[in-house]
Amino acid sequence: MSSPARWAGQLLFYAAAALLTGLFATRPVWPQFPKDAAQLLIAFAHGGERKEPCRKLTAEEIAKLPPRERRPSDCGRERVPLRFEAVLDDRPLLARTLPPTGLSGDGPSRLYEKFAVPAGRHTLVLRLSDSGRAEGWDVEQRFALELRPWQNLAIDFQPDRGGFVIR
């Protein structure tokens, strides 16, 4: 049978367990991110140029193809790897060669990187080569940033919007 002492004991036990759980959930304070820093997130997926240019098929070549496979040109699937570089205040932040994804190397190259940078004014230069050239850049953009502590700044690459986009 239940007695008032048993109910009080259970209540005291549950209250102590809840208090300890709450205490250990909030203490010790462990900061996940520095208080005086901002976060830069560079994330994009972009397909480079094809390794081989498309070849226009002749009328005879098109006629030899089965009706369902007839097409005006023959294009290889494989794409070139992207070269990417990020420079913050004239110091290299990231330099990568991004291989194409997919079993045939025909998918987009992907990048996802996070950086903690000091809050304040910065100059960020982003460079990308997606044409397979060995030297130089196809896209190069410079941004003047004013970062606040704990600010998250996302950078994407959207060629239809002019290149790199900061959000």
Using the Cα atoms of residue 81, residue 82, residue 85 and residue 86 in order, give the sign of their dihedral. Answer: negative
Could you state, in chain order, the average pLDDT of each consecutive group of 10 residues for the chain (167 residues)? 84 94 85 90 96 91 92 91 97 97 94 97 98 93 97 96 94
Per-residue b or e along 146-164, where b marks 16 or more CB atoms closer than 10 Å to that residue's CB? ebeeeeebebbbeeeeeeb
Contacts 24+ apart (CB under 8 A), 138-143: 139/163, 139/164
**pLDDT score recorded for residue 4:** 87
pTM: 0.78
Alpha-carbon distance of 54 to 76, in angstroms, equals 7
**pLDDT score recorded for residue 131:** 94
Q: Which residues pair with 129 in a beta bridge?
A: 83
